[in-house]
Chains A and B, each alone.
Chain A
Amino acid sequence: MRGLLHGGLTLLAAFLAHIVFGKILAQPAFGVNPFLVAVLLFGVVKGDLAGAIMGSVAGLVADSFSLGVFGVSGAVYTAVGFLTGWISRRINVMTIVRFFVFLTTLSALAIVLRLGLTAAVIAERIPWSHGRLLLQPPATALGASLVFAVFRSVRRRYAR
């Protein structure tokens, strides 16, 4: 029940970030996707199964506000959410550099999977945006790292 509440709140926070900062964050120059940030963080904090469920729901929410194929983000985020939780339980990713590299890799994987799946089902061309698409993984990882840092410091304060 508590996990459900946490998941709901995380999704709500991502949705609010999407509403409030959507126009700025979605620009290729920033490339931060609040839904992907939520999936990555939930996967790291709660584990693989929770990451997959969060990915599934957050992906569908993102898809419902997108003209892309409904279900593509759901499928991709399910896989990424699961992998985030699964890998983070097997290797130590809790140092700053490792955490950033880990999330950058998974964000890049999310983009590759989404482009691959979209290209496979509707033969859509890749939206490179003059190469700025490549900025999205580190930008998303940076966003997620910042949110995680805030989350950890708040948790520590409450634990004392």
Chain B
Amino acid sequence: MPLSRPERNKFLVVIGLFVFQLILISVQVPLGEAPTIAERALFFVLSPLQGAYHAAWGGIAKAWNRYLDLRDVEIQNQALRDDLFRFRQENLRLRNGLLELRDREAAARLLSGLRTSFLIASTIGVDAMNVQKSVVIDKGRSDGLTTNLPVVDGEGRLVGRTIEPISLHEATVELLTNDNCSFGVVSEKSKVVGILSGDGRTGQCRLKYILSSNETLEIEEELLTSGFDRIFPAGIPAGRVVSIKKESSSFKTILVRPYLEIPNLNLVAVLTGTPGKRP
């Protein structure tokens, strides 16, 4: 049965839309995960909406919290004063200890850099299609963010690194569970060095290139960044070994449970200048 004209036009529009998407795919494929101009443009237009929502919601929540906090503000204030006094004392002792241990000028440089070495950011969006791959944070180029800056959670544990697209006030963070994310790690006790790669299928990571003959690495051992990749500074906790299997190949199959917890990932710190980073 021949199609009527409106029906035919409808099918043509749908086919046109589909072809348009296929063209976008064909442009994207050679670039890998690097964003195209169209993707950047959409991110630049839509990401401020995420920021605006979080700013508005944050404002309401803050006002409500302020109201509630008024009740026991005196007690909290006293506790904070005590804490502040103690931290000042600790800080003074640490400074003195550091100056004794290191060259005076180097120590002064390190101390002056500490305050500007990280930037606190809120996660304002997740990757709806691939939850283990990326999140969006509310800091961008205007805050000095660029690509390849390490991102850690409130406990100082590794979350990932900044990647494109980065707009003026928002940035994308590639999570360490993304398939394409790999970085150098070293085990805490046995000092085994390997490459930790994301495994988006399971939300876990794999420790690669550990020889089958290696017997020193143990289950539940903590893995820290080694700094050899020159992106992540050394010593950031990344996860724990959950299983070690010997297979027919030369290398072991080692599964690692990352510390990363997306539902609890409200605040993160972007390490903008990392003192003590390996040269």
A interface vs B, CB < 8 Å?
15-16, 18-20, 22-28, 33-35, 48-49, 52-53, 56, 59-75, 78-79, 82, 114, 117, 121-122, 124-130
Contacts and interface: CB of A to CB of B under 8 A. Distances in A.
Contacts of A79: 18
Interface of B: 10, 13-14, 17-18, 20-25, 27-29, 32-33, 35-36, 38-39, 42-43, 46-47, 49-50, 53-54, 123-134, 136, 172, 174, 178-180, 200-203, 262-263, 265
Contact of B43 (A59, A64, A114): A64
Interface pairs A-B: 4 shortest CB-CB: A71-B24, A64-B42, A75-B21, A71-B25
A22 B17 contact: no
Contacts of A62: 128-129
A127 B50 CA distance: 26
B25 A70 contact: yes
Given A18-B125, A23-B126, A70 B13 contact: no
Nearest to A25: B128
A108 to B, nearest CB: 16
A67 B127 contact: yes
A66 B133 contact: yes
Among A59, A66, A79: residue with most chain B CB under 10 A: A66
A70 B22 contact: no
Contacts of A56: 17, 20-21
B265 to A, nearest CB: 7
A19 B17 CA distance: 26
B25 A19 contact: no
9 contacts: A15-B49, A35-B128, A49-B14, A68-B130, A70-B27, A72-B25, A74-B20, A79-B18, A127-B130
A11 B202 CA distance: 30
A33 B49 CA distance: 19
Contacts of A20: 53
A16 B46 CA distance: 11
Contacts of B49: 15, 19
Among B13, B22, B123, B131: residue with most chain A CB under 10 A: B131
Contacts of A52: 13-14, 17
Nearest to B266: A23
A62 B24 CA distance: 14
A64 B21 contact: no
A127 B132 contact: yes
Contact of B29 (A26, A33, A34, A69): A69
A129 B129 contact: no
Nearest to B51: A19
Given A64-B42, A64-B43, A121-B29, 8 more contacts: A19-B54, A23-B262, A26-B128, A48-B14, A52-B14, A56-B17, A67-B172, A125-B201
Nearest to B180: A67
Nearest to A74: B21
A73 B14 CA distance: 15
B201 A67 contact: no
A27 B262 contact: yes
Nearest to B262: A23
Contact of A68 (B13, B43, B129): B129
Given A24-B263, A127-B132, A49 B13 contact: yes
Nearest to B23: A71
Contact of A64 (B46, B54, B180, B202): B46
Contacts of A117: 25
A69 B136 contact: no
Contact of B22 (A26, A71, A129): A71
A122 B10 contact: no
Contacts of B38: 60, 70
Given A22-B126, A26-B128, A65-B125, A70 B43 contact: no
Given A15-B49, A78-B21, A67 B33 contact: yes
A66 B127 contact: yes
A67 B134 contact: yes
A122 B24 CA distance: 14
